[in-house]
Amino acid sequence: MSRILIIEDEAAAAKGFKSMLEFEGFEVMTAKDSKQGMKIYKNFIPDLVLLDVYLGSETGYAICEKLRETEPTLPIVFLTNSNTELNQVRGFSVGADDYIIKVEASERPQLFAAKLKAAINRVRRMGAKSPESIDEFMVDNVRVNVVAKTVIGPGINETLTGTEADILDILHASSNKVVLYSDLMKRLRGSALVDSDMLHVHISHLRKKLGERASRKLMAIKSRGYLLCK
């Protein structure tokens, strides 16, 4: 289920669009301003962010720019009553993927949902083309960044060791395929990992850092190796 974060200061509008998108099959959370939105974002880790333009002390444009600094591929869509050409141009100039007028979204909810799904799927297809080059990816409900060496999710904010990050990177590049112990050891040569016993220790530490839910995606295949499920 794809996750959407709506940052909207009008409670009635936020509630209405939340219900609409949940009906269309999304998991949705709302925030009333930038501060609350960024806090929820770090824990919820949405697949797409919906932004209003006017949000009190900080505009949607500023939030979009802030997100783009660390999330270059995150789908960001403006959802607003402001339909002037100037505002739409500004929205795209700060990094938005789309700009949708609220009344149009309300009148055509299925088309609205289809646009959001298309934006999310574009990013997923980009990742599927060259998984080896992805520095950041999802493991169930947590986001892993193998360059920053972080694991972030609901109630989770962990730092990976270099070896742990390398293990996840290798397993993710072969998602849904068993990586043999011997192959994993060869590719980790030069790290702190020295034998199979240490490999199992690193995997154990990784499971703890991924959390109870995401760790189920990291599977041990008896006498063969490990597998990371998508």
Q: In what order do the strands lie in the sheet with 218-221?
A: 179-180, 225-228, 218-221
Alpha carbons 123 and 127: distance in angstroms, whole number = 6
Are 167 and 192 part of one and the same domain? yes
**Letter for the amino acid at 160?**
L
The region that residue 107 occupies, defined by phi over 0 for left and psi between -120 and 50 for alpha, beta otherwise, is: alpha
Query: In angstroms, rounded to a whole number, what is the distance separating the alpha carbons of residues 139 and 210?
Result: 8
> Which pLDDT score, from 0 to 100, does residue 167 have?
92
Nearest 10 degrees: CA dihedral of 222, 228, 229, 230? -170
Domain boundary residue among 129, 158, 192? 129
User: What is the dihedral angle through the alpha carbons of 45, 51, 54, 56, rounded to the nearest 10 degrees?
Assistant: -10
Same domain (yes/no): 24, 93 = yes
SS3 letters across 52-99:
CCCCCCCCHHHHHHHHHHHCCCCCEEEEECCCCHHHHHHHHHCCCCEE
Selection from 130, 190, 142 nearest residue 166 by Cα: 190
Which CATH number belongs to the domain containing residue 153 in this structure?
1.10.10.10
> Are both 109 and 177 inside the same structural domain?
no
Q: Decide which of 99, 129, 159 is a domain's last residue.
A: 129
First to last CA, the chain: 13
Q: Are residues 224 and 207 in the same domain?
A: yes
50 and 17, same domain (yes or no): yes
**53 and 76 within one domain:** yes
Residues 123, 9 within the same domain: yes
Domain harbouring 11, CATH code: 3.40.50.2300
Question: Residue holding tokens 């998984």?
Answer: 131
Locus of tokens 């220790």: 201
Range of the domain at 154: 136-228
**Statement to judge: residues 91 and 184 lie in one domain:** no
Q: Report the pLDDT value the prediction gives residue 213, as an integer from 0 to 100.
A: 93
pLDDT tens per residue, the chain (230 residues)?
A: 889 999 999 999 999 999 999 999 999 999 999 889 989 998 888 999 999 998 878 899 999 988 888 787 788 999 999 888 888 888 888 888 889 999 999 999 999 999 999 888 887 765 544 444 468 899 999 999 988 889 999 889 999 888 888 899 999 988 888 998 888 888 876 544 556 777 888 899 999 999 999 999 999 998 889 999 97
129, 159, 189: which is the final residue of a domain? 129
The reply to whether 96 and 18 lie within a common domain is yes
> Is the distance from CB of 67 to CB of 74 less than 8 angstroms?
yes
Say yes or no: 10 and 59 in one domain.
Answer: yes
Task: Say whether both 155 and 220 belong to one domain.
Answer: yes
Q: What is the pTM of this model?
A: 0.58
Q: Indicate whether 70 and 119 sit together in one domain.
A: yes
* Cβ contact 105:81 at 8 Å: no
Number of domains in the chain: 2
